[in-house]
A = this chain, B = another copy of it.
Amino acid sequence: MNPNRRFKDEIYDQFSRIGKAVSSPKRLELLDILCQGERTVENLARETSLTVANTSQHLQVLKNSRLVEQEKKGLYVVYRPAPMVCEFFFSMRKIAENRIAEIEQIKNRFLEGKKGMEPVDRDALIKRIQKEEVTILDVRPPEEFRAGHISGAVSVPLQELELMLAKLPKTREIVAYCRGPYCVLSVQAVELLNKKGYHAVRLEEGVQDWRAMGLPVASGE
């Protein structure tokens, strides 16, 4: 074959390794989770409703296309996204949200009929958060809160929310957030809170979006 043609075929073949890695919905979900912080295989399997073997296979694919890195820590293998990968994932997500109308529809259908999920005036909400006029709940697992959270937020993992209810103010408005627009933890939190008589709304943005907007993020504690 023509060497020029061969060169191009070889080059685009290499590029397509990245594309193949992100052509599977489950691998995208894995990447999304990994962008919140490193995880073990088992943890990822639980989050994605995959078998452990299947999760491991998907992670091998991601590793072979250099999108994730792994590190053995004792009995566990911890995976984390490679540099630049999260930015790439977000640009892909953004293009999907902007150009694929079905995504908005799926979101609306899912949130339909749920209280506190109506699209709020985002900028107004963010202003109130900044002025500390509301209580902000980070309902993700505690490791994720530690890895980075919205400044001023309180860590109340969804699982513990019911037990912690007593400590929350009934009069003050509550804003719950989790990993971003496709994470349902905050949806469940807001549902529960409203059922119990609190005034709660959901913030769609996750920590990444928050940071990307230039707003303050804290970590640790």
Given that A10-B106, A66-B100, A100-B14 are contacting pairs, would A92 and B184 also be in contact in the complex, using a CB cutoff of 8 Å? no
Which of A15-23, A131-139, A205-213 lies on the face that meets chain B? A15-23
Q: In the bound complex, do residue B99 and residue A88 qualify as a contact, i.e. CB atoms below 8 Å apart?
A: no
A190, chain B: closest CB distance, angstroms: 13
Contact A18 B96 (CB under 8 A): yes
Residue A85 is within 8 A (CB to CB) of chain B in the complex: yes
**Interface pair B12/A16, CB less than 8 Å apart:** no
A159 within 8 A of B: no
Of the A-B pairs whose beta carbons lie under 8 Å apart in the complex, a sample of 14, sorted by A's number, is A8-B184, A12-B25, A12-B26, A14-B96, A15-B28, A16-B23, A17-B96, A18-B95, A19-B21, A65-B100, A67-B95, A87-B91, A88-B92, A88-B95
A24 CB-CB contact with B under 8 Å:
yes
- Residue A93 interfacial (CB < 8 Å): yes
A124 an interface residue at 8 Å Cβ cutoff?
A: no
A100 to B15, CA, bound (A): 9
Given A14-B96, A23-B23, A7 and B84 contact (CB-CB distance below 8 Å) = no
Q: Is A103 an interface residue (CB 8 A)?
A: yes
Residue of B nearest to A20 (CB): B23
| A residues in contact (CB < 8 Å) with B | 3-5, 7-26, 28-29, 32, 49, 65-67, 82-85, 87-88, 91-96, 98-100, 102-103, 106-107, 110, 182, 184, 187-188
Task: Determine how many copies of this chain the complex contains.
Answer: 2
Residues on B with beta carbons closer than 8 Å to the beta carbon of A26: 12
Given A11-B182, A16-B22, check contact A84 B98 (CB 8 Å): yes
Given A3-B110, A99-B82: A182 touches B8 (CB 8 Å cut-off)? yes
Give the distance in Å from the alpha carbon of A182 to the alpha carbon of B10 in the complex. Answer: 10
Across-interface contacts of A8 in B (CB, < 8 A) = 29, 182, 184
CB of A215, distance to nearest CB on chain B (Å): 23
Q: Is the CB–CB distance between A85 and B92 below 8 Å?
A: no
Q: A8-B184, A91-B88 are in contact. Are A16 and B3 (CB under 8 A)?
A: no
